Amino acid sequence: MYFLIALGNPGDRYKYTPHNAGWLLVDTLVPADDWQDNKYANAHLAVVSIEGKDVMLVKPQTHMNNSGEVIAYLAREYGLTPETTIVMYDDIDFPVGVLKMFHDRGDGGHNGIKSITEHLGTGAFTRIRIGVSEDLGGGKMDKPAVLKQMDKQWLDTLLATNAKLRKGLVRFITDGLEKATTFLNTEE
């Protein structure tokens, strides 16, 4: 089983903020009724099949800074390992509409990734970084406040990446990390 852990913050006031980009995208992978609230994991969980492999989708219900608390439960109950883990989260260094995949990197100052790394005991897991900034051209970005509600155009641009995300996950499962990384990190 693979695990796609999408980072975000619970509560309506955070729903359409850049920090919830992971939750917004993972919600496109499964019908809303398929999510199950697991009080022991303190997370919403759903299982989908991608190319015949089970993928557990995870939305930790802790706030961003404590996202890693779900790791112990998933490892104990479902066999989560660093090799089977993909964490999806917002990144202000990329424009909205861009997805990038990396493996075994630092936390880049992202508190959710710091928490995951601490609880997993290693940084050797795969990440999908979701761009949330406005591209001003010439390499300049307008970096949003990550807890600010965003407008419909921003949300539409973000959600338009769902097809690329799906294809990237298929590549990861069928062809491995290197080909999935090449696919997601290449602009179309």
Residue 102 pLDDT: 96
pLDDT at 179: 95
User: In terms of Cα–Cα distance, which of 71, 58, 62, 20 is closest to 42?
Assistant: 62
DSSP-derived pairing of the beta strands 126-137 and 140-142: antiparallel
pTM score:
0.95
pLDDT at residue 61 in the model: 97
Q: According to the model, what pLDDT value does residue 137 have?
A: 84
Cβ(56)–Cβ(47) under 8 Å?
Answer: yes
3 touches 137 (CB < 8 A): no
What domains are there in the chain, each with its CATH number? Answer: 2-185 (3.40.50.1470)
Whether 19 sits among the annotated catalytic residues: the reply is: yes
Q: Which residues make Cβ contacts (< 8 Å) with residue 44, sequence separation at least 6?
A: 35, 36, 37, 38, 58, 59, 61
pLDDT of residue 187: 65
Determine the pLDDT at residue 154: 94
Low-confidence ranges of the chain (pLDDT < 70): 187-188
Instruction: For residue range 29-82, list pLDDT tens digits in order.
Output: 999 999 999 999 999 999 999 999 999 999 999 999 999 999 999 999 999 999
